[in-house]
Amino acid sequence: MSIPQFKLIVVGDGCTGKTTFISRHQSGEFQRKYIPTIGVDVRLLPFYTSVGEVHFEVHDTAGQEKFGGLRDAHYINSNACFLFFDVTSRATYNNVESWYSDVDHICPDIPYILIGNKCDVQNREVRTQAVNWHRKKGIKYVEMSAKSNYNYEVPFLLLCRILARDESLNFTQAPALVPAEINMSEQQMNQIHNDMMKANMAALPDQDE
């Protein structure tokens, strides 16, 4: 029996942590030095779930505008997309709509996961409660931190559940990660979790009173 394989594109502004996120899933290491992706980097990541093994062919796109034409060619035949922004940079969140439009133009009706990276930072520019773009599109939102390993597997778990149409799906093997660079407090993790739940469940902006 063949193993299901999906093409996943990872998009967002440069320096939002896309490559670090993918690299650590593959090697278990945190990439301390920022190295811009030139064009598109392709990696194959296996995941082991309660409904079987699944592979993602991950296309990590460059965040720089000058690679726009090359990126567009790699969007073709994509099955899903991770939209990245950096919670310490409001500009990267403001650009999410543009990234979504670029992908949706070529790959309409694919599932997306919106990812707010670097949530371990206290001095952030984008608060969880202010993240509402995903509500309009019916997209799941998750905050994560590469340095602390917080929620590192959640984007892939949510995507696997969407693709399998099974909310009870779980991973049977956890990604191999090196020890966290920093430790987030239990209080901080609980606060982020509660804020994300509220953000995902909140009414659409045009329905707000």
Q: What is the pLDDT of residues 71-114, one digit of tens each?
A: 677 788 999 999 999 999 999 999 999 999 999 999 999 999 99
Predicted local confidence at residue 110, as pLDDT: 97
Predicted local confidence at residue 205, as pLDDT: 60
- Span 43-47, mean pLDDT? 85
Class of the CATH domain delimited by 5-207 = alpha beta
Listed residue (56, 126, 51, 121) closest to 96, CA to CA: 126
CA distance 28 to 22: 10
Tokens of 109: 């009706």
Predicted local confidence at residue 124, as pLDDT: 92
Predicted local confidence at residue 204, as pLDDT: 65
Alpha helices in the chain (DSSP H): 18-27, 68-75, 90-94, 96-106, 133-137, 154-164, 186-201
pLDDT digits (tens, 9 = 90+) for 106-165: 999 999 999 999 999 988 999 988 898 988 898 999 999 977 888 988 999 999 999 999
- Model's pTM, two decimal places? 0.85
**Model confidence band, residue 42 (pLDDT cutoffs 50, 70, 90):** confident
Predicted local confidence at residue 119, as pLDDT: 92
Spans of all domains in the chain: 5-207
